[in-house]
Amino acid sequence: MANTAALEGINGLRDIRRSPASHLAEALDAGSVTGTVVLQEGPFQTMAGIRVDPRSEQGSRIASVAGGLPARCGEVAGSDGISVLWLGPSEFLVVAPEEAHDSLGGHLIGSLTAALGDAPGQVVDLSANRTTFELSGPRARAVLEKGCALDLHPRSFTPGTALSTEVGNIPVILLKTGEDSFRLFPRASFADFLGRWLLDAMREYASPEVP
């Protein structure tokens, strides 16, 4: 009975929760051009902000839970569906599937907190702090280049690289997930603005070509 009640509570939470860009779902679908550039809001994800010295004992314990800690700017570590993004020499963002969250039957946040223990550092649940946009297609890079100062050419920005930057003057963490696919992590409060900015940047690809 206890397990049934817990499962009902989890499903109830999922039913009432709304993502920061859910109101843009129809616009994202209408503004996407299959085979050219597609924009979607990604699923809910478990996120944790970590502050720890990676060379310390507690850093090693956290690395064992997360599947590693990146050693340099742009590097992404992790394993088993967990990605650890480098934000600074002792600051990281852990990203994992929704079900990894403690409130949904997972144990990632609790395990990271236990790994840190009483040692200097910080583990903060940031799952509600950001949303995720998925931008993909042959024109995805061209869309981002309209408002991002990074060199996004494949020779410089390779798959598996993540950097803090701005897109459309909005601070984001930009992760390249494939040759023509990107994941953007803006703060939830900027989801509406960034979603609309990306749609506007995509607009030319939804128009018929001028002969």
| Residue spans per domain, the chain | 21-42+131-211, 44-128
Type of residue numbered 56: S
CATH assignment of 21-42+131-211, among 3.30.2010.30, 3.30.1360.120, 3.10.20.30, 3.30.70.1280? 3.30.1360.120
Q: What is the 3-state secondary structure (H, E, C) of 29-77?
A: HHHCECCCEEEEECCCEEEEEEECCCCCHHHHHHHHHHCCCCCCCCCEE
φ, ψ (nearest 5 deg) of residue 35: 85, -5
User: Whole-model pTM?
Assistant: 0.89
Low-confidence ranges of the chain (pLDDT < 70): 1-17, 207-211
pLDDT for 18 equals 80
Residues making up the chain, counted from first to last: 211
pLDDT for 17 equals 67
The whole-angstrom separation of Cα 170 and Cα 162 is 16
pLDDT for 50 equals 98
Per residue in 129-185, pLDDT (tens digit) is: 999 999 999 999 999 999 999 999 999 999 999 999 999 999 999 999 999 999 999
CB of 67 within 8 A of CB of 83? no
Type of residue numbered 198: L
CATH of domain 44-128: 3.30.70.1520
